Amino acid sequence: MAEVTIEARRHSAAHLAARAIMNVFENVQVDIGPATDEGFYYDFDLPHRLSPEDFPKIEEEIKRLIALDEPFVRKEVSREECAKMLEGQQYKLERLGDIPEGETISTYAVGDYVEMCRGPHVEHSSQIGVVKLTRVAGSYFRGDVNNKMLQRVYGIIAKDQAEMDEIIERAEEAKRRDHRKLGVELDLFHIDPENPGQIFWHPRGWSIYVTLQDYMRKKLVADGYSEVNTPALMPRSLWERSGHWGHYQKNMFVTESEKRLFAVKPMNCPGAIEIFKSRTRSYKDLPLRLAEFGHCARNEPSGTLHGIMRVRGFVQDDAHILCTEDQIEEEVAKFCRLLKDVYSDFGFDKNLLVKLSTMPEDHVGEIATWQHAEAALAAACNAAGLPFEIQPGEGAFYGPKLEFTLVDALGRQWQCGTIQLDYQLPSAERLNAEYVGADGKKHHPVMLHRAVLGSLERFIGILIENYAGAFPFWLAPEQIRILPSSDKALDYAKKIKAALEANGYRVTVDASSEKLGAKIREASNWKVPYKVVVGPRDEADETVSVRKTGEGDLGAMKLPDFLAKLQSEIKA
C-alpha cells in the first residue's frame, strides 16, 4: 500500500466514525467531519443524546469496519447525482448548495457509505489503524448560535494499540497539567460563568502576570523600543479607515455615545499609526519601534472559549515598527534574535519551528514588492540562525509573515510569536502615515506588526501546562516559604523573611500550628520552589535549612550564602 499522511488517516477515520454511528443509532443526520491537529471530529444530529458510555459500542463498530479493509473510492458527480446520493441528509444538502455552479463535486464511498468530500483519504480502511473516541460536545450548525445545536464527537487515531496506549498516557498527563484545573488548585485565577472569556486574576496569578510583563519590558527597552498606550475605545471612523470595520466588525464590541459609534479595540495597530502621525516624522526617526501592552477585546463565540488560552479580553506583548523598505531585513533579523533570546529563557529554544507564509492569491500590491518582502523575511531568518519552512499562499492579503511555534514538555506545538509585513495600513488609502525622506519628499513607511509571546493570558496558560504549575524560581508567585519548626522559631522566621524580601524575593511564613512534615507537604502542594526550615538551632547558628523542589534537602547554610545561591539562579 502507498504511504498515506496522518491527515488522510484522520479524515478517513472521521468518515468511518460517521458510518459507525449511523449503523448503531437510528435517524442520524450528519454534517461535517474534518481532520484536526489532534485527530478528528464529526457533527451529528440524532434523537439519542450521545455520551462516553456509548463510545465502546461505536468503537467496536469502527473496528469492524476497519477490518473489512474496504477501498475509499473517489468519484466526480453532477449536482443532481450528488443530491440523489445525499437524499434525506438535510445538512449535507444545504452544504451542497454552497458549492458554486460549475465547480467540481467529488464524493468518496467506502462500502455503502457515501460522503461529499474533497479528500484526501486512505486507499483502504485498514490503513487508518486504531481509533478511539475521546469526548462529545455541543456545536451549532455552521457555528451560528441561531442554528440548531448538533453533537460533535471527537476522536484520535494511532497506527496500532501500543501507539494508542502512549497517546492515551500523554492525554492523561495533559489532563493533570490542564491550566484550568491547576489555575484553581494553585489559586491563580477564575472565570465567572456569567462573564465568559474574562479573567479574574488572583494575587498569585497576577504576580506571574506582572513578573512576565516586567521581564518583557526590560527586554524591549534593551532592544530599542518605546512603550506607548492607546485608548481602549476608538471611533467607528478610524476602524473604517483601517479596514477593520468592514472585515472584522462581527468580532468587535461596539457601543454608542452622543449618537456616535465606538468600538473596543480588538487590536492595537491603528493606535500606533495615530501616534506616528501626531507629529512630522523624518527618515532620521526611522525605524520607530512602538511597544504596547494594550488590552484588547474580541467577541469570540462562547463555544470557542477555552480557559485563559482563548478569551474575549487579553493583552499582547504587542509592538509596531515603522520603517523604510530598506530597513525591513535588519529589523526582522533583530526581532528574530529577540524572540530566540526570550524563548531560550523559558527553555523553548530547542525545538523552535519557524514558517514563512508567502503571497496568497487574494493579495494587494505589486508582485515585485511581495517578492522583495518575502526575500527580506527569509534573509532575516538566516541571519538569526533560524531554519524555516515555506507555507505557500498563507500570507495575509497585505503582506507575508513569519510564524514562530514553540514545543512544550509534552511535545505539543503552540504558535505564539509572529511578525507581519504590512504595506497597506500606513498607505494613503488607509491611515496615511507619512515621513519626510532624504529627498525632502513625503513617503509612506512600512509597518511591521510583531509579538513575541502573543497573548500574555494564553502564554501563561502554556507555561502552567508546560511546567505543570511548578514555575521556575524567577517566575514563581511564591518563591520561598519559611517553615518554623515551632512557635519558638517564629520571630527568627519573620527576620529571615524581611531579609529575603529586602532583596526582592516573594516570601511567606507558615505560622500554622501544623507539624513540620505537614508544612513541608503543604508547601510542595503549592509548588513553592524553596522551602526554608528554621528552628532554635538555626537561630543560634544564624543559618537556614534549605530544601529545593527537584533537588531535595540542601542542608544548612548562612543567609548570605543562600542569597548568593538565589542570585546565581536568577542570573542563570
**DSSP-assigned letters across all residues of 405-454:** EEE-TTS-EEEEEEEEEESSTTSTTTT---EE-TTSSEEPPEEEEEEEEE
Residues 6+ apart with CB under 8 A from 448: 320, 321, 322, 323, 328, 331, 332, 335, 419, 420, 421, 422
Q: Please spell the DSSP secondary structure of 180-203, one letter per residue.
A: HHHHHHTT-EE--TTSTT--EE-H
Determine the angle formed by the axes of helices 55-67 and 6-24, rounding to 10 degrees: 120
Phi then psi for residue 530, to 5 deg, are: -120, 130
The reply to whether 449 belongs to the active site is: yes
Please tell me whether residue 391 adopts helix, strand or coil conformation: strand
CA distances from 412 to 40, 68, 202, 409 (A): 16, 33, 27, 7
How many residues in total does the chain contain?
A: 572
Strand partners, 136: 153
From the candidates 89, 127, 151, 316, which is the catalytic residue? Answer: 316
Compute φ and ψ for 49, nearest 5 degrees: -85, 110
In whole angstroms, give the CA distance from residue 355 to residue 369.
20
- Say which of 117, 269, 296, 416 is annotated catalytic: 269
Name the helix (H) or strand (E) containing 237: helix 236-242
Contact of 322 with 286, CB cutoff 8 Å: yes
Look up 269 and say whether it is catalytic.
yes
Q: Nearest Cα to 526, choosing from 470, 444, 468?
A: 470
Residue 30 grid coordinates: 450528519
**Which residue among the candidates 15, 177, 449, 481 is catalytic per the annotation?**
449
Neighbour order of strands in the sheet with 130-140: 29-30, 40-45, 149-158, 130-140
Active-site residue, from 92, 132, 320, 444: 320
Choosing from 298, 334, 531, 547, the catalytic residue is: 298
121: annotated active-site residue: no
End-to-end CA distance of the chain: 52
Active site residue 316: yes
Distances (CA, A) of 130 to 17, 62, 71, 125, 134: 12, 9, 17, 11, 13
- Give the residue carrying C-alpha cell 529545593: 548
**Burial of residue 426 (number of CB atoms within 10 Å: 0-12, 13-18, 19+):** buried
Q: How far from the centroid of its chain's Cα atoms is residue 41's Cα?
A: 20
Rg for the chain (alpha carbons), in Å? 28
Determine whether 244 is an active site residue: no
Q: Angle CA(147)–CA(150)–CA(155) in degrees, nearest 5?
A: 145
**Residues with active-site annotation:** 269, 298, 316, 318, 320, 401, 449
